[in-house]
Amino acid sequence: METNVSNKVRNWLAAASVPIIIWTVIPLLWILATSLKSDAALADSSQNVLGNFWPKDISWDNYKLIFTGGAKDLFLPALWHSIVVCLSATVISVVLATFCAYAIARLTFPGKKLILTTALGVSFFPVIAMVTPIFNLWRSVGLFDTIPGLIIPYLALTVPLSIWILAAFFQQIPWEMEQAAQVDGATSWQAFRKVIVPLAAPGVFTTAIIAFFTAWNDFVFSLNLTSEHARTVPAALAFFTGASQFTQPTGAICAAAVVVTIPVVILVLLFQKRIVSGLTSGAVKG
């Protein structure tokens, strides 16, 4: 009986998810379709099908524009900045969060719960509220429009979230395994490096993906803390211009959006189970 009920619930959930998936996918398909339209197709709906949705003749002009055309000087450096800044912020935040989360999970000290609560609270802190003081400070110390000046604020976004997720994973690892390694003669560092870290690898990997997504999608910090030497793709899209002041670069912006979305989509499709596992563990433990 329980199996029948479970199957019914599963079927209802599947049916309810269909309109949600459609509602989510349509904007993504619209961006893809717009990136494949020529300037003429963007201006003339008769050159499109499905109610001006999909172009009759696919054009790669917008992709040529951002990779080899006039927009390459803006897009390609921004793409490189995004890769460098996001990977650096992810590596640093995961390393710092690993040690901090391990201490929270294994050690007993005053204020441990307060640290976890603070980390969770910082994760929900409005980013826009931090921009003005950081902007003024960065202009004073010379970090404005630099790669380090963008990595450091990203750590404020990724480290607290990483600590919360990794603390839940470390709490799931049996304490006896580390004690057994120490009984066999391993030091605390050796037990951590050879026993705990391999067991926590799935959690560390999940945390790294989530931290990377958080940094990759940031717009506010990149827009306000950079000028042109460290600007990432989300902010660079706001500075795309058309062939003239009367032309909107809609196709080029959509092409760039598709390019920067592809890595995110691939990572999600390949590691969706680990991402869901990390979010679930972080929600129920602590």
Phi, psi of 74 (to 5 degrees): -95, -40
pLDDT tens digits, one per residue of 156-210: 888 988 888 888 888 887 877 777 887 878 787 888 888 888 888 778 888 888 8
Position 154 pLDDT exceeds 90: yes
DSSP character at residue 59: -
Position 97 pLDDT exceeds 50: yes
Report, in this order, helix, strand and coil percent for the chain, each rounded to 5: 75, 0, 20
Report whether 286 contacts 214 (CB < 8 A). no
Report whether 226 contacts 145 (CB < 8 A). yes
pLDDT tens digits, one per residue of 119-142: 777 777 788 888 989 999 999 999
* Cα pseudo-dihedral 123, 119, 95, 109, rounded to 10: -170
> Which tokens belong to 105?
């999970």
Segment (H or E) for 33:
helix 2-35
pTM of the model as a whole: 0.81
Closest to 96 (Cα-Cα) out of 158, 53, 48, 141:
158
pLDDT, averaged across the chain = 83
Higher pLDDT, 11 or 255: 255
* Cα pseudo-dihedral 262, 236, 78, 90, rounded to 10: -70
Provide the β-strand partners of residue 49.
Answer: 54
pLDDT at residue 95, rounded to an integer: 92
pLDDT at residue 247, rounded to an integer: 64
Position 80 pLDDT exceeds 90: yes
Give the separation between CA 210 and CA 137, rounded to whole angstroms: 28
pLDDT tens digits, one per residue of 168-179: 888 887 877 777
pLDDT tens digits, one per residue of 226-258: 988 889 998 888 888 765 555 678 888 899 989
Segment (H or E) for 48:
strand 48-49
pLDDT at residue 246, rounded to an integer: 57
Position 9 pLDDT exceeds 90: no
Tell me the mean pLDDT in the region 103-114: 80
Position 109 pLDDT exceeds 70: yes
Closest to 255 (Cα-Cα) out of 20, 56, 76:
76
> Which tokens belong to 115?
């640290």
Percent of the chain clearing pLDDT 90 (strictly above): 17
pLDDT at residue 175, rounded to an integer: 78
pLDDT at residue 281, rounded to an integer: 52
Number of helical H runs and strand E runs in the chain: 14, 2
CA 60 centroid distance within chain: 27
pLDDT at residue 282, rounded to an integer: 45
- Which of 56-60, 75-79, 234-238, 279-283 has the lowest average pLDDT? 279-283
Segment (H or E) for 55:
strand 54-55
3-class SS at 49?
strand
Give the separation between CA 120 and CA 228, rounded to whole angstroms: 33
Domains of the chain: 1-59 (no CATH), 69-284 (1.10.3720.10)
